[in-house]
Structure 1
């Protein structure tokens, strides 16, 4: 792929748009970001807070610890953190710098002020509306479509900013340009200087939180369990390191993560196993960058038709992307890569997303295992064929089936999961 062609530039831009730094689970951080923007617009500390959020936001925030809050959980904690300590200029790192005094202030704020939470259903999967009140004054901020997409800032009836709540694909580089054949061409021809800075940050951030997850005790400690029970061979270490990163991230670790497809867990899954294999195989730095470009773009390509939030677990796509990157590191060509992805998706496409929490680490481990198994299958002359469930002839046709399953087929599943999580009768 020529450096000056439109598709080349688009692929570089997609990586820049997707591989962003974020602290903690991205949905609580989006709530904190909205609250911080609203607090700035109000110009004073509020007496009362009203939060309306779509079901998928409620699902993904309910059980996760918000970083830099002293292990507080849930929507009220995320919003209180943004109001008390948020720096809206930092976007998804909005609560990266919090003092011990501010942590105490968050708890006091939650005790002393009313924070109302309600379900918002306006047909958008990602939808947040935060309203702050001080006497007769108010400020309101809405984020819709994706984590930093502010579509409304309003103060005392005056709209300071308003735009249509467009979906992400309407506001970013056209993801329909992605396909596995062109991704393969791109990763083999890309000038490393065009992607080095983006991927260096992903390596640095995501490896650091994986190491932190193994060093300390977080959540269910899936990474440590894997290493203790299954030994320290290469595939186990790849799963364990990624799981440990998620262990830490889901349970209050303050280290940032470089995300993929709007998710820190997916960012960890596409990168950490590939780094583990690259270091063990002692490949060149250039080959690691190309493998990471492949794993990231393959995961983005799979996730795009599904959407940011779904009942389809995004770790599945990321694990298949990691499998593709590992196949490349092990000397695999295009055929090995695409069959690895199809095999992996055939194995674990049934995993559901029931919100962000400790068990995400175990789902990540299972998805990475499927990616590695998918590659090993093909290397031993085994594969899943057209007609085997959702698998059909051709990688792009199979990916379309997966996209349809995640976006359309699991809508009702997502609604039922949300009802279960908020204790609503069936």
Structure 2
């Protein structure tokens, strides 16, 4: 049993007019956006829908060129509102036939029942080709659509909604200036200001009116899809298995809540989620365990909102060094974030929260990302458990120390080590994962019924 303790006095230095305060607010607004469906197939659908919009008519053919990480994350996940189809071809067809590009990551949210049959018909009756992108970019989607002599290409790079280039018949209609650059934060607020001490300062200083909308929406949306995951039959039903096999204590409920949200989302549930670092699984992992602990502790709404925002920012901070997509499972970062948020709910100060993060990182770093699919929910459960256990360890005067593997002195230094491991050290791991995943069919695009 963990003994609650009062937090030490915080040195609240940040003011609403400070640049860092404004940057942190903007980072939350940029990251905490709604998405319907797994974000990689949705990005494909968005590119295809935008290309069709610019073309002005239903195209006779479509070619999707995608980076390996996009192929990996789209191959095995159900695209929402497609009657259970999977793969890049299904996502592109859905975007072309019935997508609304103006809704970006909710591009497929308003598809009518009558449109779903048309998606399969389009795949059957039109040329829809998927090819690996001819570049080394981690995040790259190019949708090229044709009708007669007209041809339109839309390119998305670096993150899910970043349209870098639009051409028509070889003529540039739009170019963001980011094309080909490796800095995936282009167009977003500079994340170099993130560090654990300033994050905690911001969390204590932030006015509720400044975060209530974005955090409130995250809580509402993600709670709703988690409830759906526990109610009906989705994916591998990891959330239900946890509650059935492991009991109903708060630690199990926290794991089950996050896993159930992933169960539903990977299974094609049409409810939206609020994402973090481009991922709905990370958005749910960062928020749902914290919400469950807040209920258990009868925390105030103010405390809950600050704890969720803390978890979000800790997740974003870790993912900044790792990148949007990699061989490193993003749920690990979000599980560490959840552990930090839970420690905060218990009154943890800087030392408690910093050690919680380091302990959690030491436990689960190295879990691979082999694409979006039902097993993501099980990885989420493990990551949340590590975050919670990282806090339990420190409360029992135990911690991992400098020199224990990738752990080094200082929480920020350890986070930077993880970024280097994931972004640089695991590049070849990522290539091998993609090669293994595509070995069976040899095709990056699949349109199949689940």
TM range (shorter): over 0.9
Give the number of the structure with larger relative contact order, counting CA–CA contacts within 8 Å between residues 6 or more apart: 2
Provide the rounded CA distance (Å) in 1 between the counterparts of 2:352 and 2:186. 33
Aligned equivalent of 2:374: 358
Aligned equivalent of 2:95: 82
Aligned equivalent of 2:120: 107
Question: Is 2:169 aligned against 1:156?
Answer: yes
After superposition, where does 1:24-173 map in structure 2 within 5 Å?
A: 24-163=37-176, 164-165=178-179, 166=181, 167-173=183-189
Aligned equivalent of 1:308: 324
Q: Secondary structure at the match of 1:161?
A: strand
Provide the rounded CA distance (Å) in 2 between the counterparts of 1:134 and 1:97. 25
Pick from 181, 192, 199: which aligns with 1:183?
199
Provide the rounded CA distance (Å) in 1 between the counterparts of 2:85 and 2:135. 28
Moved over 3 A (4+): none
Deviation larger for 163-172 or 381-390: 163-172
Pick from 30, 34, 40: which aligns with 1:21?
34
**Contact 1:55–1:121 at 8 Å: present in 2 too?**
no
After superposition, where does 1:338-417 map in structure 2 within 5 Å?
A: 338-417=354-433
**Contact 1:33–1:92 at 8 Å: present in 2 too?**
yes
Provide the rounded CA distance (Å) in 1 between the counterparts of 2:62 and 2:205. 52
Question: Is 2:220 aligned against 1:204?
Answer: yes
Deviation at 1:121, TM superposition (A): 3.6
Pick from 252, 257, 260: which aligns with 1:244?
260
**Contact 1:87–1:95 at 8 Å: present in 2 too?**
yes
TM-score, reference length from structure 2: 0.93
Deviation at 1:305, TM superposition (A): 0.7
After superposition, where does 1:247-262 map in structure 2 within 5 Å?
A: 247-262=263-278
Provide the rounded CA distance (Å) in 2 between the counterparts of 1:235 and 1:380. 17
Provide the rounded CA distance (Å) in 1 between the counterparts of 2:140 and 2:170. 21
After superposition, where does 1:204-353 map in structure 2 within 5 Å?
A: 204-353=220-369
Aligned-residue Cα RMSD (Å) equals: 1.0
Provide the rounded CA distance (Å) in 2 between the counterparts of 1:78 and 1:336. 44
Deviation larger for 112-121 or 142-151: 112-121
Q: Secondary structure at the match of 2:322?
A: coil
Alpha-carbon displacement from aligned partner over 1:45-98 (angstroms, at most 9, x marks no partner): 111111100000000000000011111100000000000111110000001101
Q: Secondary structure at the match of 2:409?
A: coil
**Contact 1:34–1:142 at 8 Å: present in 2 too?**
yes
**Contact 1:138–1:156 at 8 Å: present in 2 too?**
yes
Point out where structure 1 has 5 or more consecutive residues left out of the alignment: none
Point out where structure 2 has 5 or more consecutive residues left out of the alignment: 1-13, 443-450
Provide the rounded CA distance (Å) in 2 between the counterparts of 1:209 and 1:219. 13
Alpha-carbon displacement from aligned partner over 1:189-245 (angstroms, at most 9, x marks no partner): 111110000001000000000000000000000000000000010000000011000
Provide the rounded CA distance (Å) in 1 between the counterparts of 2:101 and 2:293. 37
